[in-house]
Structure 1
Amino acid sequence: MNDRDEQWQAAERLALTLTEGGLQRMAARTLAVFLFTDAETVTMGEIADRLGVSAGSVSGSVKSLLSVGLIERLPAPGSRREHYRLRNDAWPTLFSTQNTVVHVMLQAAETGICVTASGDPAHERLTRMRDFYAFLLGELPGLLRRWEQTRVPR
């Protein structure tokens, strides 16, 4: 077995771990491709080829990884295919205000609060949900600043 085969086996093990942790299987495998590829960018077709699946099955995973800020779409002059790469700041972005999932959860709670009456148990649960996500968004900038302060330039 060569080094590349060992790397892809490690990628599949990582994807399995991520799946056991709650990530959708295809999103976990797609993320593993981004983490282990030696290419600067990849297309959905290349991800599909690497995983031995259809390009259509990769589409939702790419959309999911884009929405949480782990990957980014890049311009590819001369190419008709969209190119993607793991963001250099993927992990801080996952926990930043750029994470659309956090905003969607906050908005969902707000919408629920508006259609439930004060004193209703659903209203109270939704208020706690909203307050948590608002607190999280308020705390993230300071947390990320502290993270950046620990980083050693490479």
Structure 2
Amino acid sequence: MTEQHGTARDPAAVSRFVEHFAAQLVEAGLPRMPARVFAALLASDAGVLTSAELSERLTISPAAVSGAVRYLARQHMVSREREPGSRRERYRVHGDQWYEALTNREAVIRRWEGALREGIASLGRDTPAGHRLSETLAFFEFVEKEVEAMMGRWRAHRQDLFGGDGENPPARTGAGA
């Protein structure tokens, strides 16, 4: 297997990585097919593949690719693009996919906070259920602030490591290289 940038790859090693990382994502709660598609996109140099390429690499049907991409797009983990001059779609994973996924979760947390406030008002703050909801609300408010602060630190750290926007970082080996 040779990637777009001319780097020779051992197809078996790439496949092992994709399946191993996908298994880790599944353990963390991601459905299996979206996890495999996401891992395959991450493992491609360009970070972009067509449905046919994903089907071939993962030996899955185009319908399985479509469902996985639909899920990943809803989670803001991949985006869909049209190939120039073609009706074919390409699916792209960006360097900031983790930021986008966390930001999406932050919006969900804010909706949960609103629902919890309604529950507290309905049940009464001083009831046992109201107390549980208040504690849950306080936790989500804490998480929301921590994620926001953490993402600011991440952007600064990313800039230090990769410069620019980090979309195409220089080749590195290991986490601290």
The verdict on how the C-alpha distance between 1:30 and 1:114 changes in structure 2, with shifts beyond 3 A counting, is: same
TM-score (structure 2 length as normaliser): 0.67
Note the alpha carbon deviations across 1:72-130, whole angstroms, 9 max, x for none: 223433221222211111223332x3x1x432343245336536422565554444444
Whichever of the two has the greater Rg, that structure is: 2
Q: TM-score scaled to structure 1, two decimals?
A: 0.76
Structure 2 distance, partners of 1:134, 1:64, is 27
**SS of residue matched to 2:48:** coil
In the other structure, the counterpart of 2:154 is 147
CA distance in structure 2 between the aligned counterparts of 1:39 and 1:60, rounded to whole angstroms: 22
> Are the counterparts in 2 of residues 40 and 85 from structure 1 also a CA contact under 8 Å?
yes
Q: 1:26 aligns with which of 30, 33, 54?
A: 33
Amino acid at match of 2:114: E
Q: Residue in 1 aligned with 2:62?
A: 55
Unaligned runs of 5+ in 1: none
The answer as to 2:15 corresponding to 1:44 is: no
CA, structure 1 residues 19+143, in 2 after alignment: closer, same or farther (shift >3 Å)?
Answer: same
Q: Which moved more, 1:11-20 or 1:35-44?
A: 35-44
Q: How big is the alpha-carbon RMSD for the aligned residues of Structure 1 and Structure 2?
A: 2.7
Deviation at 1:25, TM superposition (A): 1.1
> Are 1:133 and 2:137 matched, yes or no?
no
CA distance in 1, matches of 2:63, 2:87: 17
Per-residue deviation at 1:27? 1.6
The change in CA–CA distance for 1:132 and 1:67 in structure 2 (over 3 A counts) is farther
Q: Which residue of 2 aligns with 1:6?
A: 13
% identical aligned pairs: 33
Secondary structure of the residue aligned to 1:65 is helix
| Residues 55-86 of structure 1 deviation map (CA, whole Å, 9 limit, x = unaligned) | 22233322332233322223433221222211
Within the candidate set 90, 93, 104, 1:83 is matched to 90
